[in-house]
Structure 1
Amino acid sequence: MSDVNLSEINSLARQLVHDLVPYASARSSMSGGAIWLNANENALAPAYQLDGTFNRYPSCQPKAVINAYADYAGVAAEQVLVSRGADEGIELLIRSFCEPKQDSITLCPPTYGMYAISAESNQTAVNKVLLLNSESLDLPGIFATNPKLVFICSPNNPTGDVIAQQQIIAVLEHFNGRALVVVDEAYIEFAPEASVVPLLSRYPHLVVLRTLSKAFGLAGLRCGFTLGSVDVINALKKMIAPYPIAEPVAQIAAMALSAAGIAQMQQSVATINQLRSNFIAVAQHLPGVSRVWPSNANYVLLQVTDAAECVSALIKEDILIRNQSSQLGLSQVVRVSIGNPDEMQRLITAMQNYFLNDKRVSA
């Protein structure tokens, strides 16, 4: 047996690894519960059947998936890269365009945490320019930075706000020839009219991130897409692993992007949007809820009297929601993913009981 102990092994790790605080995903930070409304998953999950054997290596960029997504998004196949979720797209963009210890990215908190973590793991500095009122871009603040990549999440996670397209165009104009502007559209199917994909033909430095995890109900598939100019996509192809998409993933993705799969997704989105509207109407009248963000995604952000206590109270009812109070620019907020009709009714009942019995707000 080796006499090398664990502390000696740890000493071999890079200092960056010792210092890095990993992303706390909803699944890793919370467990248990019967109703999971903490990870922005689609509870209206489709079912698919696999076909074939899997003894051969898959294609790096499976044509059936690439072509289907290109048709769905309205772009050329050469403008599409498929990856292990949009998270890999974020990492590839930073690794491909940012020189470690030299370049920086700009992001706009409160927003998705993986932009910063992917940058930090690549020794890339992070400029943080807070959203104004947690809903619109601080353009002068963004323009004061000198990044290689600007990340804009729209609809934004966790607020659900759509960033005005004129603001995104202003960022594109300012950074033309100087930086890539990356618009994360993970939740765009819930507000398709807000997509910036039509701008790709005008701005070759625009990049759009997409996923099958949300509206398509395939979070477990880990399948995302990067849309951009041919030059951007070719750069990412040089950095991506040889076989990023498993054959079963490719098969299911192709089925999800068929006409029938897209129709099923759109019906799911319509149901979720209605459930979201119903929940917002209730939440706005709950004592102890001081603000409800007008969401354009499959979740709703609420400002409450005590976020940690609210989460704990719902855990006792076997319901998981997410405390987002640690996000820059936010305080005492919880994010509620929209579940199926039965889950939402149980949530509403539990929240009504909690807030009506909270002596700090019901007195």
Structure 2
Amino acid sequence: MSTTVNALLREDLRDFGGYRSARSEALSGSVWLNANESAWANPSDPGATLRRYPSPQPQGLRERLAQLYRVAPAQLLIGRGSDEGIDLLVRAFCAPGRGRIVIAPPVFGMYAVCARLHGAEVVEVPLRDSEAGLCADLAAMGDAALESGASLLFLCSPGNPSGELLPLDAIAALARHLRGRCLVVVDEAYGEYADVPSATTLLTDHDNIAVLRTLSKAHALAAARVGCVIGNPALIEALRRCQAPYPVPQPVVEAALAALAPEALALTRNRMQAVREARARLADGLRALPAVRRVYPSAGNFLLVRFVDAQDAFNALLAAGVVVRDMRALPQLGDALRISVGTMEECRRVLAVLATLRVEAAA
């Protein structure tokens, strides 16, 4: 077991075997009577493929994802989107009522939600608003992790909603500082839009880094709920023992494999470039509007925008049938909306609506 996993895994889970389902056994046969499944297919399933439980970790999909992210299959655990990965990490490394995590708000809310549902304390080191954007203070986060005894530190890169891209050398330095003391989790849900190397390239030298990836964004499978945790094999095995038996339904496996076929991946790469170009044009268009105070740089498929009157902007867009994310309830974002980068026509529609806001309202 790795140094970090051995040091940080909940003591009561170190010898925990988890639940071993009927599909966990490597058996072969022609008559399957070991899982109490129906002997008959459902009438809605003429192919009789859904009456059987799926593999806990479908090998074909695991190998395809490992190839996509350039890691070994043993370094990867498939789950129900990134959300399940976050929950599993908190479950495995935060003792109920005593664990701690470190985050940099405003950030993706599921880190804090999972922690609080598990009774873990959330240590906050807020993002700093500067000319460069909303930026995480990694040194301060590392110090907070050591001072509080946190076992998990969550980073989001590209950041949601900040759009910030964290340098890999800074992540590596943080991992070295926390080795054996804290696991650094890098959420790369929007990694494809950044077009830079992944934090998975750091895994060989850092056993206390885990990376979250998903097919929800760039691969357009949000409804399928396919994500994964990537890390040291010992970490993956520990998380697998904490996971429910059948996390990935068979129809979802088939949809994911189709999305990862060579021709589909080529189309996805082309679309990533199109999104980056549309993001730049949308940002330029927004910056030219009197109603806009600031557009933050973004490496994701969205822009964080401050408005003179965010309610006015939100209402105008909604009246035109355009739904954006109201960020005003989050710390530091009392005048901000988050706008996803849509098609070129959708982006033009956003700009056209916001251009109708009265100049007096932006004065």
Going from structure 1 to structure 2, the CA distance change for 1:328 and 1:166 (only over 3 Å counts) comes to: farther
* Identical-pair percentage: 35
Q: Which residue of 1 aligns with 2:84?
A: 88
Match of 2:41 in 1: none
Q: Kindly indicate whether the alpha-carbon contact (under 8 Å) linking 1:132 and 1:138 is maintained by their aligned counterparts in 2.
A: no
Tell me which amino acid in the other structure corresponds to 1:258: A
The corresponding residue for 2:347 is 344
Select the structure of larger CA radius of gyration: 2
2: CA distance, partners of 1:286 / 1:194:
34
Unaligned runs of 5+ in 1: 1-50
1:151 matched to 2:154: yes
Could you tell me which residue of structure 1 aligns to residue 281 of structure 2?
Answer: 278
Q: What is the aligned partner in structure 2 of residue 35 from structure 1?
A: none
Query: Partner of 1:112: helix, strand, or coil?
Result: coil
2:360 maps to what in 1? 359
Deviation for aligned residue 1:135: 1.6
Whether contact under 8 Å (1:143, 1:174) holds in the other structure is no
Which residue in the other structure is 2:75 paired with? 79
2:244: which partner in 1?
A: 241
2:182 pairs with one of 179, 199, 215 = 179
How many angstroms apart in 1 are the aligned matches of 2:267 and 2:239? 31
Alpha-carbon distance in structure 1 between the residues aligned to 2:223 and 2:73:
25
Cα 1:71–1:194, aligned 2, differ >3 Å: closer, same or farther?
Answer: closer
- Which residue of 173, 178, 192 corresponds with 1:189? 192
- Quick one: which of 290, 293, 318 aligns to 1:290? 293
Amino acid corresponding to residue 256 of structure 1 in structure 2: A
The equivalent of 1:216 in structure 2 is 219
1:314 matches 2:317: yes
- 1:138 Cα deviation after fit: 4.6
- In 2, Cα distance between equivalents of 1:190 and 1:95: 30
User: What does the per-residue CA deviation read over 1:222-255, in whole Å, with 9 as the maximum and x for residues that have no partner?
Assistant: 1101101001100111011111100010011111
CA-CA distance at 1:358 after TM superposition: 4.4
Once residues 291 and 306 of structure 1 are traced to their aligned partners in structure 2, the CA distance between those partners, rounded to angstroms, is: 12
Structure 2 CA distance for partners of 1:132 and 1:142, relative to 1, 3 Å: farther
SS at match of 1:193: coil
Task: Tell me: CA distance 1:138–1:231, structure 2 relative to 1, closer, same or farther (3 Å).
Answer: closer
Task: Pick 1 or 2: higher relative contact order, CA cutoff 8 A, min separation 6.
Answer: 1
| 3-state DSSP of counterpart to 1:197 | helix
Equivalence for 1:98: 94
Q: Aligned residue for 1:34? A: none
CA displacement at 1:260 relative to structure 2: 1.5
Where has structure 1 moved over 4 Å in runs of 4 or more?
Answer: none
Query: How far apart are 1:193 and its partner, in Å?
Result: 1.0
Q: Quote the Cα distance in structure 2 between the aligned partners of 1:76 and 1:140.
A: 33
Alignment coverage as a number of residue pairs: 311
Contact 1:137-1:167 at 8 Å conserved across structures:
no
Matched-pair contact (CA < 8 Å) for 2:224–2:252: yes
* Alpha-carbon shift at residue 186 of structure 1 (Å): 0.1
C-alpha contact 1:85 1:223 (8 A) present in aligned 2:
yes
The letter for the 2-side match of 1:114 is: M
Are the aligned partners of 1:162 and 1:194 in contact in 2 as well (CA < 8 Å)?
A: no
TM-score normalized by structure 2? 0.83
Aligned partner letter, 1:255: A
Deviation by residue 1:201-229 (Cα, 9 ceiling, x = unmatched): 11011000000010011111111011010
Question: Which is worse superposed, 234-243 or 256-265?
Answer: 256-265
Counterpart of 1:139? Answer: 139
Residues in 2 aligned to 1:292 and 1:227: alpha-carbon distance in whole angstroms: 32
Structure 1 position 118 matched with structure 2 position 111: no
Read off the aligned partner of 1:111 and give its amino acid letter: V
Paired with 1:290 and 1:191, the residues of 2 have a C-alpha distance of 24
Over the aligned positions, Cα root-mean-square deviation in angstroms equals 1.5
**Cα distance 1:306–1:138, how it changes in 2: closer, same or farther (>3 A)?**
farther
Q: Match of 2:182, as an amino acid? A: A
Q: Distance in 2 between the 1:52 and 1:159 partners?
A: 46
What is the letter of the counterpart of residue 168 of structure 2? Q
Residue 81 of structure 1 contacts residue 226 of structure 1 at CA under 8 Å; is this kept in 2?
A: yes
Residue 199 of structure 1, aligned match among 193, 198, 202:
202
Give, in angstroms, the shift of residue 184 of structure 1.
0.1
Residue 326 (structure 2) pairs with residue 330 (structure 1): no
Structure 2: tracts of 5 or more residues without a match? 1-46
* One-letter code aligned to 1:135: C
Larger displacement relative to structure 2 (301-310 or 246-255): 301-310
Counterpart residue type for residue 164 of structure 1: P
Deviation track 1:285-312 (CA, whole Å, cap 9, x = no partner) reads: 1112111111101000111112222111
Amino acid at match of 2:140: P
Give me the whole-angstrom Cα distance separating, in 2, the residues matched to 1:52 and 1:329: 53
Range 260-269 or range 138-147, more displaced: 138-147
User: 1:27 — aligned with what?
Assistant: none
d(CA) in 2 for partners of 1:135, 1:159:
8
Does structure 2 retain, via aligned residues, the 8 Å contact 1:154–1:184? yes
